[in-house]
A and B are shown apart, each in its own frame.
Chain A
């Protein structure tokens, strides 16, 4: 597809279970971001990838959260032993390659529709 695709769109799980959330960025976009948005709140940064590496993992809230990206494309966010406070919409965004401030890179992030996680 033309946009950022996330799956599943909705996930309901029981406390203590592991979940995997998937993000398919726009083809050719080298940067990929994960955010979390709790009900009525702003976006909370989790992690960002440049290619397959993650230079900034500072936003991951605990060691139960991990993410990987393979082939410079698809990324998976994994939450182990889910807790009720993990309930949120998890948003993925990607941005294209280009020189700073150059015409090919406006710095714009393209977001997916999110994965809504509910932990019972």
Chain B
């Protein structure tokens, strides 16, 4: 799986949009971009994924650049419960394929 680069930490004011960047400059054509988050003392939780088109679900939006070398996870209205470590991963989503390399992620702190 391609490696990703994320900032170590970010702060965001409650109610504002949180924009979390991720660089994946060596991503290959069949690799998807996945985002997970891990709230303190819990297991990681899937947020969203995409290949090349922008994606939106009830949790977040994912913006992928045209060259697919970077992406941004957007939490449109951050709440205190969104404080967590956010992991950006790229992988081929085949059944039972190799593991996900999580790296150290971005620690997002939502400030009241």
Query: Which A residues are closer than 8 A to B by beta carbons?
Result: 4, 30-31, 33, 35, 41-43, 45, 48-50, 55-56, 59, 91, 93, 95-101, 105-114
Contacts and interface: CB of A to CB of B under 8 A. Distances in A.
A98 B98 CA distance: 15
A45 B101 contact: yes
Contacts of B46: 108-110
Nearest to B45: A111
A50 B96 contact: yes
Interface in B61-112: 87, 91-105
21 contacts: A33-B99, A35-B99, A42-B87, A50-B95, A56-B98, A56-B99, A91-B43, A95-B95, A98-B95, A99-B95, A100-B95, A105-B95, A107-B32, A107-B92, A108-B34, A108-B46, A108-B49, A109-B44, A109-B100, A110-B46, A113-B42
Nearest to B47: A108
A100 B94 contact: yes
Interface string B19-52: 0000000000000101010000011111001010
A94 to B, nearest CB: 10
B98 A48 contact: yes
A4 B102 CA distance: 19
A111 B49 contact: no
A116 to B, nearest CB: 9
B42 A31 contact: no
A50 B44 CA distance: 21
Contacts of A101: 32, 51, 93-94
Given A48-B98, A106-B49, A42 B43 contact: no
A32 B104 CA distance: 22
